[in-house]
Amino acid sequence: MIGAGEAAALGGATCWAACSMCFSSAGKRVGSLSVNLTRLLMGMVFLTAITAIARGLPLPLDATPTQWAYIGASGFIGFFLGDMVLFEAYVLIGPRLSVLVITTWPIFAALLAIRYCNQHLNAYQWFGIVVTIAGVIAVLLVQRQSTRHAPNRKLMLGVTLALLGGLGQAIGYVLAQKGLDGYDAFSATQIRLLAAVPGFILVITFAKRWGSVREAFTSRKALGPLVAGTVAGPVLGVGLSMVALNAGTDVGVAGTLMATAPLSVIVLERVIHKTPICPKALAGTLVAIAGVAILMLAA
């Protein structure tokens, strides 16, 4: 019997998969920079409402200076730098491949923990890293073979950006761990959003893309996916992941179930867009997820 925590983790994976599809669709219409800023502003509105109801404190004014420093740095690196390149990957190579590549972020987090958190990896965890990388490479080879008549530059750039996005998420995760210290997860997410917004404002100003931001709020074809993606990701995705942990689910089990997001993307694309499922790519995806499971469960 699957427990409430495990069900929440699987639900969270589905939410993040839907989130990536929505933001990919919106990004193709108004650009990844506009999508990033718009979803952060929308997310802040939703999270403020949630914290006001749940905590009676709409803004994270009770966080300590240390928490602001670590969690804020986590948001700047993860939500700004990491997501800026990840969302461009969504546009270049689509959500299916982007979400698979971003699944490698626990590898970056584990390697960073060795250097900065005095943690060590056992033989099973190193094996999990190798299996994960092998699965991702297998899918990339299948993808390259299926598009052998098209230029590979777009694929290589998209994969590189997704990897950088995974690195940003890993650094953000390590910094957030150091700063949370039992602090409310939704309020911490508010701090991360507040730290990321100024970065996007500066980039959009220098890139002269405010017209695209305006279009994101006024175009029904872009606004719909943006709202849906914001609710699915920063609100439901974060919320369900916290439910999974609060329900007493083992961190490794919850993380592994959350890592099934690439499978959720495959299923959702099949149901919604009738996208055919490639058996070889599906097998590679399963291998990559198995590698993540080994890495997280062997900790």
- Tens digit of each residue's pLDDT (9 = 90 or more) over 239-298: 777 677 666 666 567 777 778 888 888 888 888 888 888 888 889 889 988 988 888 787
DSSP string, 123-180: HHHHHHHHHHHHHHHHHHHHHHHHTTTS-SHHHHHHHHHHHHHHHHHHHHHHHHHHHH
- For residue 191, count CB atoms less than 10 angstroms from its CB and return exposed for 0-12, middle for 13-18, buried for 19 or more: buried
Which of 6-10, 147-151, 180-184, 200-204 is the most confident on average?
200-204
Overall average pLDDT of the 110-132 stretch: 83
- Report the pLDDT value the prediction gives residue 107, as an integer from 0 to 100: 85
Given a cut of 70, whether residue 60 has pLDDT beyond it is yes
Rounded-to-integer distance, Cα 176 and Cα 47, Å: 17
Rounded-to-integer distance, Cα 245 and Cα 255, Å: 10
Overall average pLDDT of the 162-191 stretch: 84
Overall average pLDDT of the 43-50 stretch: 90
Hey, what are 211's tokens? 């017209």
Helices marked H in the chain — which ranges? 4-30, 32-55, 65-75, 83-102, 105-116, 123-146, 153-180, 185-207, 210-218, 220-230, 238-246, 251-258, 261-273, 279-297
Q: Please, what's the b/e burial string for 194-229 (b: 16 or more CB within 10 A of its CB; e: otherwise)? A: bbbbebbeeebeeeebeebbebbeeeeebbebbbbb
Task: Classify 250 as helix, strand or coil.
Answer: coil
- For residue 187, count CB atoms less than 10 angstroms from its CB and return exposed for 0-12, middle for 13-18, buried for 19 or more: buried
Beta-carbon contacts of residue 15 (< 8 Å; ≥ 6 apart): 232, 233, 236, 237, 240
Distances (CA, A) of 128 to 61, 204, 260, 289: 40, 39, 15, 9
- Report the pLDDT value the prediction gives residue 250, as an integer from 0 to 100: 64
- Give 196's Cβ-side CA count (13 Å radius): 29
- Report the pLDDT value the prediction gives residue 151, as an integer from 0 to 100: 58
Flag the least confident range among 9-23, 30-44, 202-216, 252-266. Answer: 252-266
Task: Classify 274 as helix, strand or coil.
Answer: coil
Given a cut of 50, whether residue 1 has pLDDT beyond it is no
Distances (CA, A) of 236 to 171, 259, 296: 23, 16, 23
Flag the least confident range among 16-30, 106-120, 239-253. Answer: 239-253
Distances (CA, A) of 1 to 5, 6, 7, 290: 12, 10, 10, 21
Q: Residue 171's pLDDT band (boundaries 50, 70, 90)?
A: confident
